Amino acid sequence: MARPAEQTKSQSIVAWLAALTIAAPSLAQQGQQGAPDLAADPARAIATAAEQWLASDQVDTRLLDAAVLACRKAPKLAVDWLEPQLARTLKEPATPRSKGVQALCTQFAIDYVNEQRATYLVYVGQYDLLLRLQPYVGDLFFELLLATPQWYPLTFRWQLVGPLRDLQVRPPSAERLDGIVKIVEDLDEPEELRRALAAALWQWGTRQYAEAVLQKLKDDIASGDSEDRVNSTLSLADFQVLLRDYKQAANAHRSAQVLAKQNRVPLRPVAWYAAACVHALLGDVERGFAALDECTRQLASKDLDESLRLQLSMFADDPELALLRKDARFAEMVARVVPPEQKRVDKGAGR
For every residue of 257-322, which 3-state class applies, written as one string?
HHHHHHCCCCCCHHHHHHHHHHHHHCCCHHHHHHHHHHHHHHHHCCCCCHHHCCCHHHHHHCHHHH
Q: What are the distances in angstroms from CA 98 to CA 187, 203, 351?
A: 40, 34, 52
Q: What pLDDT, on the 0 to 100 scale, is given for residue 24?
A: 40
pLDDT tens per residue, range 208-231: 999 999 999 999 999 889 999 999
CA angle 190, 191, 196 (to 5 degrees): 105
Better pLDDT: 18 or 105: 105
pLDDT tens per residue, range 117-150: 999 999 999 999 999 999 999 999 999 999 999 9
Q: Which of 25, 102, 23, 93 lies closest to 58 in space, CA to CA?
A: 102
3-state secondary structure of 8: coil
Q: Which of 45, 164, 49, 43 lies closest to 104 in space, CA to CA?
A: 49
As a whole number, mean pLDDT of residues 338-349 equals 52
C-alpha to C-alpha distance for 169 and 135, rounded to whole angstroms: 12
Residue 36 is classified by DSSP as: P
C-alpha to C-alpha distance for 14 and 18, rounded to whole angstroms: 6
Lowest mean pLDDT among 8-17, 86-95, 143-152, 323-332: 8-17
